[in-house]
Amino acid sequence: MNKIKTYSVYSAKAKLEKPISDATHTLTEISFIILRIVTTGGVTGEAYMLSFQYSPKAIAGAMKDVGEMVLGEEVHDTVKVFEKINAANEYFGHEGINRWAQAAYNIAMWDAWCKTLGQPIWKVLGSSGTKVPLYGSGGWISYSVDELIHEVTRYKARGFKAVKIKVGKPDWREDLERLTLVREAVGNDIGIMMDANQGMTVPNALSLATAAKHLNISWFEEPIDHTDFQGYQLLRNQAGISLAMGEREYSTVPLRELLTRNAIDMWQPDILRLGGVEAWRDSAALAGSFNVPVLPHYYKDYDIPLLCTIPNAMGAESFDWIDPLIDNPMIVDNGFALPHNRPGWGFGFKDEFLSEI
């Protein structure tokens, strides 16, 4: 018997010298909510979510509400617990903060279960590979040109083969100028992607995509509102550029809508929004049934192991924000990440950086 005995919720922050902005948000802190569960067998499972400065009390409250629901459950019963939480959350809805909390417990349960088995999660699920290409993410709109060039050239020096740049300035021509400078700085052997964080209109996104063709942009992420399926279809047909989206989705319904419209080229699941491991893998399977590759959002320490278990893995996004806060940062070698070999997810947050909430 290996039941959930206790849970604890913590916060932690990464260093941020000054606010950073994309087309729709300004981030004043890089913060995380961390969940720990302990089983009757003495095994600790952990999960974390990226929270920035948004609604810390609401997120912590949702985590504690869910915690009371799962006490006494077996850690291997991840599907049973997911459905139990689903039923309880139906009144307030399955999207939003409650889904994040649901996912956190799923992720922590998988951590504890695989630690009980003494194996990393990617071996438990069955592997398809043991390394995944990374792209360097950032390129914030708030960066000066010098800051932008410094970041992308640093990624290149570290062996990354691709970088992603934020776009969505009031005048798309300024985005084009910044992309041109990045191409000049990194040369033609580095892939460049652009991400509007849903901050553009269809006409402006179409104008930028068309004007940037000579820069050989690999793909365009979230150019417009994620619910504008017809807009995605139009852009894909008229702009002649690959489209990526998925990080804002809490289910596979939007993916289904885009796939049936032939309006998506890369699926970007967010494991916390979708609800955890099974939901992430379900979405990857749906994408795979349409030969669409998977390129997840943000959580590389979860995504790399999971990408090693599916046949349609394309790559992962790289931020280094949690690396100073955890005990076993992921190995990155010449632009490729290797899954952790320790049992469970293979890493944990250091106690000295945690504040209980």
DSSP states along 44-93: EEEEEEE-TTS-HHHHHHHHHHHHHHHTT-BTT-HHHHHHHHHHHHTTT-
| Sheet containing 44-50, strands listed edge to edge, beginning at the edge strand earlier in sequence | 44-50, 30-39, 4-14, 355-356
Domains identified in the chain, total number: 2
* Half-sphere exposure of residue 134: CA atoms within 13 angstroms, side-chain side: 30
345 lies in some domain: no
Which residue segment(s) compose the domain that 8 sits in?
A: 4-118+351-356
Question: Quick one: CA dihedral 254, 48, 322, 310, positive or negative?
Answer: negative
Q: Which two tokens stand for residue 190?
A: 């580095």
CATH code for the domain of 321: 3.20.20.120
328 close to 349: Cβ distance less than 8 angstroms: no
List residues bridging with 349 in a β-sheet: 326
83 & 181 share domain? no
Percentages helix, strand, coil for the chain (3-state, rounded to 5) are 40, 20, 40
- For residue 83, what pLDDT is reported? 97
CATH code for the domain of 69: 3.30.390.10
Q: Which of 35, 41, 99, 61 is nearest to 250 (CA)?
A: 99
Alpha-helical (H) ranges within the chain are 56-70, 78-89, 97-117, 121-125, 145-157, 172-186, 202-211, 229-239, 253-260, 271-274, 277-289, 300-307
pLDDT tier at 129 (50, 70, 90 boundaries)? confident
Say how far apart CA 263 and CA 254 lie, in whole Å.
11
33 lies in some domain: yes
- For residue 236, what pLDDT is reported? 95
69 & 144 share domain? no
- For residue 255, what pLDDT is reported? 98
| Bridge pairing between strands 26-27 and 20-21 | antiparallel
Q: Which two tokens stand for residue 144?
A: 């000066």
Q: Is 211 exposed, middle or buried (0-12, 13-18, 19+ CB in 10 A)?
A: middle
Question: Quick one: CA dihedral 233, 236, 237, 242, positive or negative?
Answer: negative
Say how far apart CA 236 and CA 302 lie, in whole Å.
30
- For residue 1, what pLDDT is reported? 74
230 lies in some domain: yes
346 lies in some domain: no
- Average the pLDDT over each of 31-40, 85-94, 194-203, 294-303 and give the range with the smallest value: 85-94
Say how far apart CA 1 and CA 290 lie, in whole Å.
41
Provide mean pLDDT across the span 332-349. Answer: 96
31 & 106 share domain? yes
Q: Which two tokens stand for residue 24?
A: 């729709």
- Average the pLDDT over each of 85-94, 109-118, 296-305 and give the range with the smallest value: 85-94
83 & 105 share domain? yes
Q: Which two tokens stand for residue 248?
A: 């804002």
51 lies in some domain: yes
297 & 149 share domain? yes
- For residue 320, what pLDDT is reported? 93
Provide mean pLDDT across the span 268-275. Answer: 98
92 & 229 share domain? no
223 & 322 share domain? yes
The pLDDT tens digits for 300-337 are 999 999 999 999 999 999 999 999 999 999 999 999 99
- Average the pLDDT over each of 127-131, 304-308, 337-341 and give the range with the smallest value: 127-131
46 & 64 share domain? yes
219 lies in some domain: yes
Provide mean pLDDT across the span 57-79. Answer: 95
290 & 309 share domain? yes
114 & 210 share domain? no
Type of residue numbered 164: K
96 & 150 share domain? no
129 lies in some domain: yes
Say how far apart CA 340 and CA 77 lie, in whole Å.
23
274 close to 250: Cβ distance less than 8 angstroms: yes
* Half-sphere exposure of residue 128: CA atoms within 13 angstroms, side-chain side: 11
pLDDT tier at 230 (50, 70, 90 boundaries)? very high
| Bridge pairing between strands 217-221 and 331-333 | unpaired
110 & 155 share domain? no
99 lies in some domain: yes
Say how far apart CA 250 and CA 226 lie, in whole Å.
12
167 close to 181: Cβ distance less than 8 angstroms: no
Q: Which two tokens stand for residue 323?
A: 């690396």
115 close to 108: Cβ distance less than 8 angstroms: no
